[in-house]
Amino acid sequence: MKILLTGRDGQLGFELQRSLAPLGEVCAVDMLECDLSDELALRRLVQTVRPDLIVNPAAYTAVDRAESEQGLAASINRDAPRILGEEAAKIGAWVIHYSTDYVFEGSGVEPYKESDVTNPQNVYGLTKRDGENALQIACAQSLILRTSWVVGSHGGNFAKSMLRLGAEREVLKVVNDQFGAPTSAALLADVTAQLVGRARREGVTDFPFGLYHVVAGGETNWYDYARFVIGQAITAGVPMKIALDNIYPISTQDYPLPAKRPLNSRLDTGLFKKTFDLELPDWRIGVGHVLQQIL
Protein backbone atom coordinates (compact mmCIF):
# COMPACT_ATOMS: atom_id res chain seq x y z
CA MET A 1 0.00 0.00 0.00
CA LYS A 2 1.26 3.46 -0.91
CA ILE A 3 0.13 6.29 1.39
CA LEU A 4 0.38 9.99 0.62
CA LEU A 5 0.53 12.00 3.85
CA THR A 6 0.25 15.79 3.89
CA GLY A 7 1.32 18.12 6.69
CA ARG A 8 4.07 15.91 8.01
CA ASP A 9 5.48 18.67 10.25
CA GLY A 10 2.20 19.36 12.04
CA GLN A 11 1.15 17.90 15.38
CA LEU A 12 -0.92 15.15 13.80
CA GLY A 13 1.20 14.65 10.70
CA PHE A 14 4.23 13.98 12.89
CA GLU A 15 2.41 11.20 14.77
CA LEU A 16 0.85 9.77 11.59
CA GLN A 17 4.29 9.16 10.12
CA ARG A 18 4.92 6.85 13.06
CA SER A 19 1.57 5.07 13.12
CA LEU A 20 1.24 4.53 9.37
CA ALA A 21 4.82 3.38 8.73
CA PRO A 22 4.08 -0.34 9.43
CA LEU A 23 1.11 -0.29 7.05
CA GLY A 24 2.76 0.66 3.81
CA GLU A 25 5.09 2.99 1.94
CA VAL A 26 4.47 6.47 3.32
CA CYS A 27 5.21 9.47 1.11
CA ALA A 28 5.06 12.35 3.60
CA VAL A 29 5.19 15.97 2.43
CA ASP A 30 5.19 19.33 4.16
CA MET A 31 3.95 22.72 3.02
CA LEU A 32 7.31 23.58 1.45
CA GLU A 33 7.21 20.46 -0.71
CA CYS A 34 3.57 20.91 -1.63
CA ASP A 35 1.70 24.17 -1.07
CA LEU A 36 -1.91 23.10 -0.46
CA SER A 37 -3.11 26.46 -1.76
CA ASP A 38 -1.54 25.66 -5.17
CA GLU A 39 -4.10 23.60 -7.08
CA LEU A 40 -1.79 22.56 -9.92
CA ALA A 41 0.97 21.47 -7.54
CA LEU A 42 -1.50 19.48 -5.48
CA ARG A 43 -2.94 17.67 -8.48
CA ARG A 44 0.55 17.01 -9.83
CA LEU A 45 1.61 15.52 -6.49
CA VAL A 46 -1.23 12.98 -6.45
CA GLN A 47 -0.70 12.11 -10.12
CA THR A 48 3.03 11.57 -9.51
CA VAL A 49 2.76 9.52 -6.30
CA ARG A 50 -0.40 7.65 -7.36
CA PRO A 51 -1.19 6.53 -3.80
CA ASP A 52 -3.71 3.94 -2.70
CA LEU A 53 -4.61 6.18 0.25
CA ILE A 54 -4.36 9.92 0.88
CA VAL A 55 -4.23 11.03 4.53
CA ASN A 56 -4.75 14.77 4.93
CA PRO A 57 -4.13 16.25 8.39
CA ALA A 58 -2.81 19.51 6.90
CA ALA A 59 -4.97 22.57 7.51
CA TYR A 60 -4.94 26.31 7.97
CA THR A 61 -5.32 26.42 11.76
CA ALA A 62 -4.52 30.06 12.66
CA VAL A 63 -8.07 30.64 13.88
CA ASP A 64 -7.81 34.37 14.54
CA ARG A 65 -5.66 35.18 11.51
CA ALA A 66 -8.16 33.38 9.29
CA GLU A 67 -10.58 36.24 9.88
CA SER A 68 -8.29 38.47 7.80
CA GLU A 69 -6.87 35.76 5.51
CA GLN A 70 -10.13 34.26 4.35
CA GLY A 71 -8.91 33.44 0.85
CA LEU A 72 -5.88 31.51 2.03
CA ALA A 73 -7.88 29.66 4.70
CA ALA A 74 -10.46 28.67 2.09
CA SER A 75 -7.80 27.47 -0.36
CA ILE A 76 -6.27 25.13 2.21
CA ASN A 77 -9.30 24.07 4.26
CA ARG A 78 -12.01 24.01 1.59
CA ASP A 79 -10.41 23.64 -1.83
CA ALA A 80 -7.51 21.30 -1.03
CA PRO A 81 -9.74 18.49 0.33
CA ARG A 82 -11.92 18.77 -2.79
CA ILE A 83 -8.88 18.58 -5.08
CA LEU A 84 -7.44 15.63 -3.19
CA GLY A 85 -10.83 13.91 -3.39
CA GLU A 86 -11.13 14.53 -7.11
CA GLU A 87 -7.66 13.17 -7.82
CA ALA A 88 -8.23 10.20 -5.51
CA ALA A 89 -11.44 9.30 -7.35
CA LYS A 90 -9.58 9.35 -10.67
CA ILE A 91 -7.04 6.74 -9.56
CA GLY A 92 -9.28 4.64 -7.29
CA ALA A 93 -7.66 5.83 -4.04
CA TRP A 94 -9.46 6.66 -0.81
CA VAL A 95 -9.04 9.60 1.52
CA ILE A 96 -8.84 10.19 5.29
CA HIS A 97 -9.37 13.81 6.30
CA TYR A 98 -9.64 15.58 9.67
CA SER A 99 -12.06 18.30 10.73
CA THR A 100 -13.02 20.24 13.80
CA ASP A 101 -15.59 20.95 16.49
CA TYR A 102 -15.61 24.56 15.22
CA VAL A 103 -18.08 23.55 12.49
CA PHE A 104 -20.79 23.82 15.17
CA GLU A 105 -22.37 26.89 16.70
CA GLY A 106 -21.26 25.86 20.17
CA SER A 107 -24.50 26.47 22.07
CA GLY A 108 -26.12 24.22 24.68
CA VAL A 109 -24.43 21.57 26.78
CA GLU A 110 -25.20 18.34 24.91
CA PRO A 111 -22.42 16.73 22.85
CA TYR A 112 -22.91 17.27 19.13
CA LYS A 113 -23.69 14.27 16.93
CA GLU A 114 -22.61 13.85 13.33
CA SER A 115 -26.19 14.41 12.20
CA ASP A 116 -26.55 17.77 13.98
CA VAL A 117 -26.77 20.90 11.84
CA THR A 118 -23.50 22.76 11.44
CA ASN A 119 -23.33 26.51 11.96
CA PRO A 120 -19.72 27.77 12.11
CA GLN A 121 -19.16 31.02 13.96
CA ASN A 122 -15.77 31.92 12.47
CA VAL A 123 -13.92 31.70 9.15
CA TYR A 124 -11.80 28.74 10.24
CA GLY A 125 -14.88 26.69 11.14
CA LEU A 126 -16.67 27.75 7.97
CA THR A 127 -13.81 26.72 5.70
CA LYS A 128 -13.39 23.39 7.50
CA ARG A 129 -17.13 22.68 7.17
CA ASP A 130 -17.02 23.54 3.49
CA GLY A 131 -14.01 21.26 3.10
CA GLU A 132 -15.95 18.36 4.59
CA ASN A 133 -18.78 18.88 2.15
CA ALA A 134 -16.50 19.33 -0.85
CA LEU A 135 -14.57 16.14 -0.11
CA GLN A 136 -17.70 14.05 0.35
CA ILE A 137 -19.00 15.22 -3.03
CA ALA A 138 -15.66 14.67 -4.78
CA CYS A 139 -14.84 11.23 -3.39
CA ALA A 140 -17.34 8.63 -2.15
CA GLN A 141 -14.53 6.65 -0.55
CA SER A 142 -13.67 9.28 2.05
CA LEU A 143 -13.42 9.11 5.83
CA ILE A 144 -13.70 12.35 7.78
CA LEU A 145 -12.77 12.43 11.46
CA ARG A 146 -13.93 15.47 13.43
CA THR A 147 -11.90 16.13 16.54
CA SER A 148 -11.14 18.88 19.07
CA TRP A 149 -8.39 20.57 21.08
CA VAL A 150 -5.51 18.57 19.56
CA VAL A 151 -2.36 18.34 21.66
CA GLY A 152 0.95 16.68 20.85
CA SER A 153 4.62 16.60 21.77
CA HIS A 154 5.52 18.08 18.36
CA GLY A 155 4.43 21.57 17.35
CA GLY A 156 2.61 24.29 19.22
CA ASN A 157 -0.50 23.84 21.36
CA PHE A 158 -2.35 25.06 24.45
CA ALA A 159 -0.50 22.78 26.87
CA LYS A 160 2.91 24.04 25.73
CA SER A 161 1.69 27.63 25.92
CA MET A 162 0.54 27.12 29.51
CA LEU A 163 3.89 25.60 30.48
CA ARG A 164 5.74 28.54 28.97
CA LEU A 165 3.48 31.13 30.60
CA GLY A 166 3.56 29.28 33.93
CA ALA A 167 7.34 29.53 33.94
CA GLU A 168 7.26 33.25 33.09
CA ARG A 169 4.34 34.69 35.05
CA GLU A 170 3.07 34.79 38.61
CA VAL A 171 -0.59 35.20 37.60
CA LEU A 172 -2.62 33.63 34.78
CA LYS A 173 -6.22 34.18 33.74
CA VAL A 174 -7.80 31.39 31.69
CA VAL A 175 -11.26 31.01 30.15
CA ASN A 176 -13.51 28.60 32.04
CA ASP A 177 -16.76 28.62 30.03
CA GLN A 178 -15.62 26.78 26.89
CA PHE A 179 -15.95 22.99 27.21
CA GLY A 180 -14.42 20.18 25.18
CA ALA A 181 -12.02 17.26 25.23
CA PRO A 182 -8.27 17.70 24.71
CA THR A 183 -7.37 14.96 22.24
CA SER A 184 -3.81 13.78 21.76
CA ALA A 185 -2.34 13.64 18.26
CA ALA A 186 -0.98 10.22 19.14
CA LEU A 187 -4.48 8.92 19.86
CA LEU A 188 -5.78 10.24 16.55
CA ALA A 189 -2.81 8.74 14.72
CA ASP A 190 -3.26 5.35 16.38
CA VAL A 191 -6.99 5.36 15.63
CA THR A 192 -6.22 6.20 12.01
CA ALA A 193 -3.81 3.29 11.79
CA GLN A 194 -6.46 0.96 13.22
CA LEU A 195 -8.93 2.08 10.55
CA VAL A 196 -6.41 1.72 7.75
CA GLY A 197 -5.52 -1.75 9.02
CA ARG A 198 -9.16 -2.75 8.98
CA ALA A 199 -9.58 -1.51 5.42
CA ARG A 200 -6.50 -3.46 4.33
CA ARG A 201 -7.79 -6.67 5.91
CA GLU A 202 -11.42 -6.43 4.83
CA GLY A 203 -11.09 -4.36 1.66
CA VAL A 204 -12.56 -0.93 0.96
CA THR A 205 -15.64 -2.20 -0.86
CA ASP A 206 -17.65 -2.65 2.35
CA PHE A 207 -15.73 -0.18 4.52
CA PRO A 208 -18.06 2.20 6.41
CA PHE A 209 -16.86 5.45 4.90
CA GLY A 210 -18.41 8.68 6.14
CA LEU A 211 -18.04 11.28 8.89
CA TYR A 212 -17.31 10.41 12.52
CA HIS A 213 -16.53 12.25 15.75
CA VAL A 214 -13.27 11.15 17.38
CA VAL A 215 -12.23 12.83 20.62
CA ALA A 216 -10.78 11.62 23.89
CA GLY A 217 -13.16 10.61 26.68
CA GLY A 218 -14.41 13.02 29.32
CA GLU A 219 -14.54 16.79 29.16
CA THR A 220 -12.97 19.86 30.69
CA ASN A 221 -12.61 23.60 30.16
CA TRP A 222 -9.51 25.62 29.35
CA TYR A 223 -9.10 26.79 32.95
CA ASP A 224 -9.16 23.29 34.45
CA TYR A 225 -7.02 22.05 31.56
CA ALA A 226 -4.41 24.71 32.38
CA ARG A 227 -4.44 23.74 36.07
CA PHE A 228 -3.98 20.08 35.11
CA VAL A 229 -1.00 20.84 32.88
CA ILE A 230 0.77 23.14 35.31
CA GLY A 231 -0.02 20.84 38.21
CA GLN A 232 1.62 17.95 36.39
CA ALA A 233 4.68 20.10 35.73
CA ILE A 234 4.95 21.11 39.39
CA THR A 235 4.62 17.46 40.46
CA ALA A 236 7.37 16.53 38.01
CA GLY A 237 9.68 19.10 39.59
CA VAL A 238 9.70 21.50 36.66
CA PRO A 239 10.39 25.07 37.89
CA MET A 240 7.20 27.14 37.65
CA LYS A 241 6.91 30.78 38.64
CA ILE A 242 3.16 30.45 39.01
CA ALA A 243 1.31 28.67 41.82
CA LEU A 244 -1.94 26.84 41.10
CA ASP A 245 -3.83 29.24 43.36
CA ASN A 246 -2.77 32.11 41.11
CA ILE A 247 -4.51 30.71 38.04
CA TYR A 248 -7.85 32.50 37.85
CA PRO A 249 -10.97 31.66 35.80
CA ILE A 250 -12.45 34.25 33.46
CA SER A 251 -15.29 34.20 30.95
CA THR A 252 -14.98 34.21 27.17
CA GLN A 253 -16.52 37.69 27.26
CA ASP A 254 -13.57 38.87 29.35
CA TYR A 255 -11.06 37.61 26.77
CA PRO A 256 -12.14 38.95 23.35
CA LEU A 257 -10.44 37.56 20.23
CA PRO A 258 -10.93 38.26 16.52
CA ALA A 259 -12.59 34.87 15.95
CA LYS A 260 -15.58 33.78 17.99
CA ARG A 261 -15.06 30.48 19.85
CA PRO A 262 -17.79 27.91 20.56
CA LEU A 263 -18.67 27.54 24.24
CA ASN A 264 -19.74 23.94 23.67
CA SER A 265 -17.12 21.88 21.83
CA ARG A 266 -18.36 18.54 23.15
CA LEU A 267 -18.57 15.85 20.44
CA ASP A 268 -20.58 12.62 20.75
CA THR A 269 -18.38 9.65 19.78
CA GLY A 270 -21.09 6.99 20.04
CA LEU A 271 -21.35 6.38 16.30
CA PHE A 272 -17.60 5.94 15.92
CA LYS A 273 -17.32 3.53 18.86
CA LYS A 274 -20.31 1.48 17.70
CA THR A 275 -19.16 1.31 14.08
CA PHE A 276 -15.51 0.44 14.70
CA ASP A 277 -15.67 -1.17 18.17
CA LEU A 278 -12.88 1.04 19.46
CA GLU A 279 -12.66 2.78 22.82
CA LEU A 280 -11.38 6.32 23.35
CA PRO A 281 -9.50 6.82 26.64
CA ASP A 282 -9.98 9.77 28.98
CA TRP A 283 -8.31 13.00 27.86
CA ARG A 284 -6.04 13.05 30.91
CA ILE A 285 -4.28 9.90 29.70
CA GLY A 286 -3.33 11.38 26.35
CA VAL A 287 -2.35 14.76 27.78
CA GLY A 288 -0.36 12.97 30.48
CA HIS A 289 1.62 11.06 27.85
CA VAL A 290 2.35 14.29 25.99
CA LEU A 291 3.55 15.97 29.18
CA GLN A 292 5.83 13.04 29.96
CA GLN A 293 7.51 13.60 26.60
CA ILE A 294 7.97 17.35 26.87
CA LEU A 295 8.63 17.95 30.57
Catalytically annotated residues:
124
Strand partners, 145: 98, 212
Separation CA 73–CA 76 (nearest Å): 5
Whether residue 42 contacts residue 4, with contact meaning beta carbons closer than 8 Å, is answered with no
Q: Say how far apart CA 51 and CA 279 lie, in whole Å.
A: 29
- The set of residues, in sequence order, having a beta carbon less than 8 Å from that of 76 and lying 6+ positions away, is 36, 37, 58, 59, 60, 127
Contact 172, 242 (CB under 8 A): yes
25-28, strands of its sheet edge to edge: 25-28, 2-5, 53-56, 94-100, 142-147, 210-213
E strand map for 36-165: 53-56, 94-100, 142-147, 150-151
CA distance 55 to 58: 9
Q: How far apart are CA 212 and CA 98, in angstroms?
A: 10
Could you give the count of Cα atoms lying within 13 Å of 211 in the half-sphere of its Cβ?
23
